[in-house]
Chains A and B, each alone.
Chain A
Amino acid sequence: DTEVTQTPKHLVMGMTNKKSLKCEQHMGHRAMYWYKQKAKKPPELMFVYSYEKLSINESVPSRFSPECPNSSLLNLHLHALQPEDSALYLCASSHGTGGQGELFFGEGSRLTVL
């Protein structure tokens, strides 16, 4: 059972739509992450929040907009996406903010952009 909950599990959107992915954890972790994963590939880091502040943005296009309303929640706002943005979006959290932190992953939100 995962302790990181992601909603929705599946999302289909058009290129002009605005939607959001949500992630929640109640483990008291202070770092939260968004990853993008294409089929048969490893997860690619997009954003890292440390103590509710954005600490890493891996040069992600502005059509992806992260938000961390509080220490338990992480959102990813989507707008004007492209078909190539279709992927599994994984949220993760870790207790520490250094590289020693094991990552706890949610089950992901599978996004399809038409």
Chain B
Amino acid sequence: QKEVEQDPGPLSVPEGAIVSLNCTYSNSAFQYFMWYRQYSRKGPELLMYTYSSGNKEDGRFTAQVDKSSKYISLFIRDSQPSDSATYLCAMSVGNTDKLIFGTGTRLQVFP
């Protein structure tokens, strides 16, 4: 079993939809949780960064961490065609800089 599991998709939604992207993990020591966005033929870029449990909002994006269920989510409101990309979750144990990545979920938002 992988430490981090992520559905590869693809997920196809109409413009304006609310998108939910999810990852599950097995290591209870993970404390830092991130979401990266990767456009086609580009490198991953950090989208959201959260520490421990709870929610964090940034514009149309909300990152949610449920440590009791070992489950993290990224919500995208009012999705746009420009949100079409692959979204990778990543997490790390505290006091280290070793990130464990999910395999990524490909999202397509059609007009």
Q: Do A and B bind each other?
A: no
Q: Which chain B residues have a beta carbon within 8 Å of chain A's beta carbons?
A: none
